[in-house]
Amino acid sequence: MYYDILIILIGILVIIITLYIILNKNKNDNDYTDKSDVNIIKYELEDFKKNLMEDILDIKNEIYEINMELNNLKDNIRVDNDLIISILEKNYEEKANAVSEIENFASTLNYNKFLKKNHDIIELYQANKNPEYIAKKLNKSIREVEMVLKLVKQ
């Protein structure tokens, strides 16, 4: 009878020791797993921080390049504006000269028309006739003849 109780007690003791070993092993595994998870998280955090710093550096470099390109564009715009202004000034001067030449041509043309229209008065004046005689002969007023003669003398 004692053997039965002793066998039952030994069986219970074996079960308790087995449970203790299993539970203790799981506890150690959990500690290892927890430590390894913390290390993995630290590594991932370090990696993320490193990638973030690289991205920030890349963005700073891109901003610097964009600023340099903007400065180049500003310089090009200034040069282009100066070039446009000089071209416009040159065109304005050329147009002013062309207008002046056209005006000179127009005034020369008008003077030539004036000479043709008053050719008779000029011929008689060059023949040393006086303005009264010219006015009587051509049936014009003395003032008109005097005006033509003054314009021809200029």
Q: What is the DSSP string of 108-126?
A: HHHHHHHHHHTHHHHHHHH
Give the pLDDT of residue 117. 87
CA atoms within 13 A on the CB side of 5: 2
Question: What pTM was computed for the model?
Answer: 0.39
Mean pLDDT of 84-102: 78
Q: How far is CA 13 from CA 7, 22, 23, 27, 121, in A?
A: 10, 14, 15, 21, 157
Nearest to 133 by CA among 145, 151, 117: 145
pLDDT band at 151 (very low <50, low <70, confident <90, very high): confident
Mean pLDDT of 29-34: 56
Contact 113, 148 (CB under 8 A): no
Contact 117, 110 (CB under 8 A): no
Q: Hey, where are the domains in the chain?
A: 2-110, 118-154
Contact 87, 79 (CB under 8 A): no
Give the pLDDT of residue 65. 94
Q: Which residue has the higher pLDDT, 35 or 153?
A: 153
Give the pLDDT of residue 70. 94
Tell me the pLDDT tens digit for each residue of 133-147. Answer: 888 888 888 898 888
